[in-house]
Amino acid sequence: MSTLQAFHDWFLRNQDKLPVLVYLELSACDNPNSIAAACNRLEVDLDHPSKGAFYPSRCEVLSYYTRSEDVLVLNEIAREMGTFRPRTCQPGKRCQQDPGKVTVSKRSNSCKSEHVRLLDPDDNPPCHFPLTVQGYTLIHEEYVDMLQTFGEFRIFLAVDHSAPSKDL
């Protein structure tokens, strides 16, 4: 029996003990389709606030797996600050890369260079159409030679709620 089915069975037996709060541990699951199925089931079971809620929300789950909003924000920050950031295309939008150059295809929710593939200039880039592989979105990005020797690094954004906000 799956964990999802076990929760559903427990939920049906314990509806008198509601509300419940369900936490989905996204890092414990490497298949976004399984998490999507969990969201679908939880939305049916918890169809009213009096029954409970689950966290993260479907919107947050989608954001976690696609990282598309993160990419847009980082692109905008780099543009506004006049700093470098590899040019990144958005799935289904016009390609932003220079024609005739080697580019990179990277899977969303990937770690290090594990899901990175170099694309020859003749390859059809994934930004021409929304492309998913096993539930993950493919991201088309500018090839930066230095990252082959320097490596990838992570950026963590922290917000100071006392600072004045600026719309991007």
Bond into 19 cis (ω within 30): yes
Predicted model pTM:
0.53
Kindly report the average pLDDT of the chain as a whole number: 75
C-alpha dist (Å) from residue 33 to 7, 13, 70, 121 = 17, 26, 21, 32
Q: Residue 96 pLDDT > 50, yes or no?
A: yes
**Which pLDDT score, from 0 to 100, does residue 17 have?**
79
140 and 126 in contact (C-beta within 8 Å)? yes
Task: For residue 41, name the pLDDT band (cuts at 50, 70, 90).
Answer: confident
What does the pLDDT look like over 145-158, one tens digit per residue?
A: 877 777 666 666 66
Amino acid (1-letter code) at residue 112: K
**Which pLDDT score, from 0 to 100, does residue 168 have?**
47
Question: CB count, 10 Å around CB of 165?
Answer: 8
**Which pLDDT score, from 0 to 100, does residue 58 have?**
76
Tell which residue, 89, 94, 91, has the closest CA to residue 142: 89
Q: Where are the domains of the chain?
A: 3-65, 67-150
Count of positions (residues) in the chain: 168
Structure tokens at 46: 């918890």
What is the Cα–Cα distance from 27 to 109, expressed in whole angstroms? 10
